[in-house]
Amino acid sequence: MSTESAPQFISIHGHQVAYRAAGDGSAILLIHGIAGSSTTWARALPLLANNHSVVAPDLLGHGESAKPRGDYSLGAYASGIRDLMTALGHERATIVGHSLGGGIAMQFAYQFPERCERLVLVASGGLGKEVAPLLKAISLPGAEYVLPVILRRELNGVVSRVVRAIGRVGVKPDPFLAEVLESWTRLTDARAQRAFVHTIRSVIDIAGQRVSARDRLYLASEVPTMIVWGDRDGIIPVEHAHIGHELMPGSRLEIFNGVGHFLPVQEPERFVALLEDFIATTEPARVSEARWREILTTAS
């Protein structure tokens, strides 16, 4: 596979899917969060590509992928990941998900256990109810009419001027701030706003996260699982990491002190070293259909 991590494109079910791919070796699939894109992994991907074949897609409705009027549920996203892996020739992979991507990763492992070698959840959704108030507000009726007023295309020019001004004085933009600014500019497109609202509403309502994986976390006993979180996460509280760890038998828990929600952006080198260690010290899962049936039918 090419070592180039610039966006590539493929048509799946008639929709353009953008992805970044690099490296050779065992496969790693990186899934970003809401309002994100494959650029969430821009600093981690080339490091992982030294030893692995790495794929980081732009989910439908995000980044440079198509933004159709369609299904933005976790199940649909998981199926889309399966289809992309198939199209690119990857039968199995270590599945890594950040934020919403963590929920998609868990759904993928549930729907397609035979394709999931390991599961890595980074500040993941789906492990508890609590979430940032802003995301709950966006789930309310009428949000789709408010966003175009707040997130106007002129914002792109403002952000570009701010970044250029910072660069001229020799200051390197903070990675966290850069990711937040880029997320804002992605949402100045009407189609992206529509997909954003639909995605939010598929997993969140005014009471918080409404999709939970807790009743199925026992299934993770069959797949090596690692949970990674920042103790200063203001989007999804770090308490969810401890809940997930308790409910996922044999899982590994790693907390990054002083780090917020965008852990792969803020601490890419440390994150990559941790992921490499996890892969090196675990055997890839091989869950047969018979074993999956046995687990499902004997669970209390």
Per the annotation, the verdict on 26 as an active-site residue is no
Instruction: Name the active-site residue from 233, 240, 245, 251.
Output: 233
Environment class of residue 210 by beta-carbon count within 10 Å: exposed (0-12), middle (13-18) or buried (19+)? middle
For 188, the token pair is: 């100045």
The DSSP secondary-structure symbol of 125 reads S
137-150 burial code (b ≥16 CB/10 A, e <16): ebbeeeebeebeee
Per the annotation, the verdict on 261 as an active-site residue is yes
Q: How many C-beta atoms surround the C-beta of residue 250 within 10 A?
A: 12
Q: Residues 16, 9: contact at Cβ < 8 Å?
A: yes
15-52 burial code (b ≥16 CB/10 A, e <16): eebbbbbbbeebbbbbbbbbbbbbbbbbbbbbbbbebb
For 61, the token pair is: 């409705």
Strand 252-256 versus strand 225-230 pairing type: parallel
Q: Determine the Cα–Cα distance for residues 143 and 109; give it in Å rounded to an integer.
A: 32
Q: Residues 263, 228: contact at Cβ < 8 Å?
A: yes
Q: What angle do CA 201, 62, 129 make, to 5 degrees?
A: 35
Q: What angle do CA 175, 119, 62 make, to 5 degrees?
A: 50
Instruction: Name the active-site residue from 99, 124, 139, 251.
Output: 99
Would you mind telling me the total number of residues written for the chain in this entry? 300
Q: How far is CA 136 from CA 144, 177, 286, in A?
A: 13, 22, 38
Active site residues: 99, 233, 261
